[in-house]
Structure 1
Amino acid sequence: MISVHNKALAETITVERILGKVEGTTNGPTVVFFCGIHGNETSGVFALNEIFEKLNANLVHGTVYGILGNLKALQEHIRYKDQDLNRLWTKEQIKKTKEKFILNTEEVEQLALLELLKSIIKSHSGPFYFVDLHSTSSYSLPFITINDALINRRFSKQFPVPIVLGIEEYLNGALLSYINQLGYVSLGFESGQHDAADAVNNSIAFTYLTLVYSGVLNKESLPNFSTYYKQLEAQSQNTFDFFEIVYLHSIHPKDSFKMYNGFKSFQDIKKGTVLAVNNGVVLKSDYNAKIFMPLYQNKGVDGYFIIKRIRPVFLVISALLRRLKMDSLLILLPGISWLDKKEGILKVNLNIARFFAKSIFHVLGYRSKQITLNSLQLNNRERVAKTAMYKKKWWYKNKRDYSANV
């Protein structure tokens, strides 16, 4: 445990965690890449190191940052020391941490990241793009995870990789969920299996495409654009669909969990497929779907996810209903009321509204969190999204498709 009294240490760490910063000669967006939020996921660190060595400020419009996450865990090449840094980013947890005098390793790291994040937002006018580079313990196609806001959907779909929605409903306290609540475009990129060469190369390709799509680099100034695009296209095995998480098997601290060998993210599974053993109990799939992020490392509380493909027609309907703000009608239904209208948070009394399907809320942009046995909290990303900051961008208006010329 570390005694912090209080900002001095956090500010010292903040200085050394800036892996790279390039300010262009012309105005433009601010793109922030995080890497090493988990200390055993170093592909993003290697990728950003290579990119910042080559990035020419004369070609940059705006500002690009590379930010190291968990410095202490990175030094030891472990996921975390005391607590998962990517599970601390709720407003309630941040408030508790700020009120503490004795902090653990990850709480110190979080305060430093928080100060740096605030400084970046205060120092620039935007538009802002935040990307968190990760890797997985199992073999996987490269993929994007996003909180389900239209600004995230539209930006993410430019990349030739699968996109997974709804992770915020299952993972509490992720860094990108916190940033998304601030209203900015934010996405996670999982580049492949830890320490694999492909994971580094995929992170490099994804980072360069992000710089082009955001407007930081002109496509013409990146001669290898088509090479990077085709690389991700091939690595993702031409899987460009949207998927939704339908199940997570959570692991409790005292559980004895073991995933069966050989599962890969996006692998098809059938109902009844034996997946893992937890405390001697054999776990089988209840779905005909795909396995997602099976756990093959010692640390972690997420055993495995199950995902299903979203049919494109539902994405179109969802976008239309959100633009029309049809979610305003929800409070007319019995058992549903505003918990915080400004933040887009509804409360659902399950004793009254138990019959409402999750899918209805999902279409309208709401993701649920269980508050009590009898109530849900529903968060809407659209009501806090800074859409005005992005709505004139080509990717938001679907005016251009860079892949057409690849």
Structure 2
Amino acid sequence: MINSTLDRVLLKIEGENTEPSVIFFCGIHGNEPAGVLAIQELRERLERMSMKGSLYVFRGNIKAFQEGVRYIDKDLNRLWSRSGIDEMCKGVLRGAAEYEEQRALYEEIKNIINTKTGPLFFVDFHTTSSKTLPFITIDDAIINRRFSKLFPVPTVLGIEEYLNGPLLSFINQLGFLSIGFESGEHHDAEAVLNAKAFMLLTLCFSGLVELNDLEDFNDHFNRLKKASDGKAHFYEVIERYTIKENEMFVMEPGFKSFQEVNKGELLAKSNGEPVIAKNNAMLFMPLYQPQGNDGYFLIRRISSFFLRLSTYLRGNRLDSVLVYLPGVTWNSLKKDALKVNLRVARFLARPIFHLLGYRHYEEEGAYLIMYNRERTTRTHRYNDLKWFQAK
């Protein structure tokens, strides 16, 4: 059992099961305290507020939080793959400290999903090791896009293609809205203020709190708008630098997220050798901490035409035509994933799959399993909400 004096549940306010439920995760990485500090500062105010539904705030990696490190044995935000969840549910013994943390969080999530019938809003609060604007990360599902658009901050989608087992991808696979919010640099006081602003805006946009009951709504909205420095657009990840085991990776000093970099620019050193930008792009989440294997990402802005086109194609289920391609079949009768022969997959254009909603891939023997978030989204829970109806 987890031996800790810290609470898993930072706040719980119960309402009617048919009303909205908002679930915040804070400290999934133990060296990212901003979310925990934000909820501690807001707690008394939240307990006095009139809410139509339920609010849950959970602490993530308790042991790592106590020690101020990203994780103890394994990254808690990389354990939520389908195979990892299956092993946990079957009671497979696993030694890392984070497996106990995962099981405790899983039980909380499962209980909410099994008891609440209204719309669910899952938000995971993080910070970065480099200077950054506040921003949202999402799996590329229309429901996540539409909710993210309400906030005056950049939204980065497609990161699920490059990460295995993040918590929010697991929740999104279950069909529920899930977004991540990166509020700033790990120990910057601004990161706490940004997290507080995002929490309060989420309560309003979800319908948990009436706009008129949040008298300082504009202050929080304008704080995030100003901090976003005019970059409140949609972006997608186009490249990830993965740090290999025993590799000595050192990021060049001074980089920050959303900084423009040029082809040929020196970004880092790997075992003393230069790592050069292959294309003109924006740098995203450069690594300036000892733990983690994501050296950096590169992103680019997505055109509004592409966003509108993908919404139309997905709304009309036009991804069904893909099974007529050689080597492509449905993975199951549920038709929520494609099974693609690996020999064929390398000839298929990735942007086409992106348009149709396929971004998360897993290898299974000689095949690639490609998941479509749109086919699993529980839209009936969100259909009546104005932001979801907006095109």
| TM-score, normalization by structure 1 | 0.92
1:22 Cα offset (Å): 1.6
After TM superposition, the structure 1 = structure 2 runs for residues 323-402 of structure 1, keeping only pairs within 5 Å, are 323-342=315-334, 344-369=336-361, 371=363, 375-398=367-390
1:57 Cα offset (Å): 5.1
% identical aligned pairs: 49
Note if contact 1:165-1:243 (Cα within 8 Å) is conserved in structure 2: yes
Give SS of 1:382's match. helix
Q: Are 2:139 and 1:147 equivalent residues in the alignment?
A: yes
Runs of 4+ in structure 1 over 6 Å off: 12-15
Note if contact 2:17-2:118 (Cα within 8 Å) is conserved in structure 1: no
1:372 Cα offset (Å): 6.5
Q: Please name the residue that 1:225 is paired with.
A: 217
Q: Please name the residue that 1:265 is paired with.
A: 257
Q: Please name the residue that 1:94 is paired with.
A: 85
Given candidates 5, 23, 28, the residue that maps to 1:32 is 23
Opposite residue 325 of structure 2, the aligned amino acid is L
- Between the aligned partners of 1:43 and 1:167, the Cα distance in structure 2 is 22
Note if contact 1:138-1:263 (Cα within 8 Å) is conserved in structure 2: yes
Note if contact 1:25-1:57 (Cα within 8 Å) is conserved in structure 2: no
Specify every segment of 5 or more residues in structure 2 that has no aligned partner in the other structure, as ranges.
none
1:23 Cα offset (Å): 2.7
Give SS of 2:53's match. strand
1:174 Cα offset (Å): 0.3
Q: Please name the residue that 2:178 is paired with.
A: 186
Opposite residue 139 of structure 1, the aligned amino acid is K
Opposite residue 334 of structure 1, the aligned amino acid is P
- Between the aligned partners of 1:225 and 1:168, the Cα distance in structure 2 is 31
The structure-2 alpha-carbon separation of the partners of 1:321 and 1:59, relative to structure 1 and needing over 3 Å to count, comes to same
- Between the aligned partners of 1:14 and 1:380, the Cα distance in structure 2 is 41
1:153 Cα offset (Å): 0.5
After TM superposition, the structure 1 = structure 2 runs for residues 163-312 of structure 1, keeping only pairs within 5 Å, are 163-312=155-304
Give SS of 2:144's match. helix
Specify every segment of 5 or more residues in structure 1 that has no aligned partner in the other structure, as ranges.
1-8, 400-406
Q: Please name the residue that 1:19 is paired with.
A: 10
- Between the aligned partners of 2:377 and 2:31, the Cα distance in structure 1 is 32
Q: Please name the residue that 1:402 is paired with.
A: none
Given candidates 73, 80, 84, the residue that maps to 1:82 is 73
After TM superposition, the structure 1 = structure 2 runs for residues 94-173 of structure 1, keeping only pairs within 5 Å, are 94-97=85-88, 98-173=90-165
Q: Are 2:32 and 1:41 equivalent residues in the alignment?
A: yes
The structure-2 alpha-carbon separation of the partners of 1:27 and 1:332, relative to structure 1 and needing over 3 Å to count, comes to closer
Q: Which moved more, 1:122-131 or 1:92-101?
A: 92-101
Note if contact 1:255-1:278 (Cα within 8 Å) is conserved in structure 2: yes
Q: Deviations over 1:97-119 (max 9, x none)?
A: 45333532100100111111111
1:27 Cα offset (Å): 6.0
Opposite residue 80 of structure 1, the aligned amino acid is Y
Give SS of 1:187's match. strand
Opposite residue 87 of structure 1, the aligned amino acid is R
1:264 Cα offset (Å): 0.5
- Between the aligned partners of 1:250 and 1:58, the Cα distance in structure 2 is 44
| TM-score, normalization by structure 2 | 0.95
Q: Which moved more, 1:206-215 or 1:48-57?
A: 48-57
1:373 Cα offset (Å): 8.9
Opposite residue 86 of structure 2, the aligned amino acid is K
Opposite residue 304 of structure 1, the aligned amino acid is Y
Q: Deviations over 1:81-109 (max 9, x none)?
A: 00000000012012234533353210010
Q: Deviations over 1:122-170 (max 9, x none)?
A: 2322210000000000000000000011100001100000000101110
1:343 Cα offset (Å): 5.8
